[in-house]
A = this chain, B = another copy of it.
Amino acid sequence: MSDDLVFGLYIFALATFVGYQVISRVPPLLHTPLMSGTNAISGISLVGSLVAAGGKHDLTSSILGFVAVTAASINVVGGFMITDRMLRMFNKKKSPALPPAAAAGAKRPVKTA
């Protein structure tokens, strides 16, 4: 059992706590953006791919790395763009299409019999 393993386990355990707590605070309203957001973040495997692609070990490595970089950056770019596009759509105030009166009415479940 190496120091690296133990260190890694510390990071892993703490990060899992953080992750669990942060995610469980995300409301259902934003679960789809959450999915594509984490997706973009998972594109961090880009870091590993870059090393492989730039390692100049031999052609095989470079090509493998190249494909990896491509795939990962699709996720990063795509993920962040879509998530942002989604979040831009969520707005609180009524759209002009609807009269303000209705907006007020819709603010909370009105208990009218």
Closest residue of chain B to A18 (Cβ to Cβ) is B17
Chain B nearest CB, measured from A22 CB (Å): 7
> Once the chains are docked, how many angstroms separate the CA of A17 from the CA of B22?
10
We find that the number of chain A residues with CB closer than 8 angstroms to chain B is 9
**CB-defined contacts of A7 to chain B, threshold 8 Å:** 7
Chain B nearest CB, measured from A84 CB (Å): 24
Chain B nearest CB, measured from A78 CB (Å): 28
**CB-defined contacts of A11 to chain B, threshold 8 Å:** 10-11, 14
**CB-defined contacts of A22 to chain B, threshold 8 Å:** 21
Closest residue of chain B to A12 (Cβ to Cβ) is B14
> Once the chains are docked, how many angstroms separate the CA of A40 from the CA of B18?
23
